[in-house]
Structure 1
C-alpha cells in the first residue's frame, strides 16, 4: 500500500512539474474590471506565471470545499458529542448501580454469603457417606 501511495505521489509531482513547465507565460490578474480600481486609488493588478494562478485556484478551491464540508457537518459532530456525553453518563450510572446492588445490605448477609473455609481432615465430598 505504501508503494502504491509513493507511485501516486511521484506521478502527481511529475504531472504538476509538466504543467508548470508548459505554462510559464505571465498573466495579469485584475481585482476590478476595466480600470475601476483606479477610482479606488492604486493599482489592483498583479502579474504571475499562469501555472501559479492554476495551482492557487486549485488550492483555494480545495480550501473552500473543506470549509464548506466542515460547516455542513457541524450538526453531526454536535449530535455525536451530545450522544457521547449521554453514553458516559449512563455508563457511570450503571456502574454506580452495579456497585450498590452487588454489595450485601448488612453484615449478617455478608457472613452468610462468604464460603466457609474447609476444615483440615474433613472429607471434600458433599457430606455424603463413602460408598462401600
Structure 2
C-alpha cells in the first residue's frame, strides 16, 4: 500500500516539475557579479540558461546547503552516540568477562545465593 502511495507521489511530483520546466523555458542571463562590480573590476561573466534550470539549480543548491548545515550541526550528537556505544561495548565485555570467571573468584554473597538454589 505504501509503495503504491510512494510511486503515486513521485509521479505527481515529476508531473509538476515537467509542467514547471515547460512553463519556464525562456532564456535568462545570469551574471556572476552585479553590473557596477563588473565595471569596476573589469571582470564580466554571464551565461544564458533556461529559467527552469536556474530554478532547479537553486532548489538543488538549497538542499545541498541544508544537508551540509544539518550534518555539521548534529556532529556533536553523533560524537556522543559513538562515545556511548564504545562505553556500552566496554561494559558488555566486562560483564562477559565477569560471567566467565572461575568459581574460586566469585563473590561470597553470590556463592551463598547460588548454593540455596
TM-score norm. by structure 2 comes to 0.82
Indicate the structure with greater helix content.
2
Point out which structure has higher relative CO (alpha carbons under 8 A, 6+ apart). Answer: 2
- d(CA) in 2 for partners of 1:73, 1:48: 36
Q: CA RMSD in A?
A: 1.6
Between Structure 1 and Structure 2, how many residues are aligned? 104
Long gaps (5+) in structure 2: 105-117
Structure label with greater radius of gyration: 1
Structure 1 partner of 2:35 = 34
- d(CA) in 1 for partners of 2:44, 2:35: 12
Please give the per-residue CA displacement for 1:79-124, whole angstroms capped at 9, x wherever unaligned.
0000000000000011101111xx333xxxxxxxxxxxxxxxxxxx
* Structure 1 residue ranges (4+ consecutive) displaced by more than 4 angstroms after TM superposition: 38-42
Long gaps (5+) in structure 1: 106-132
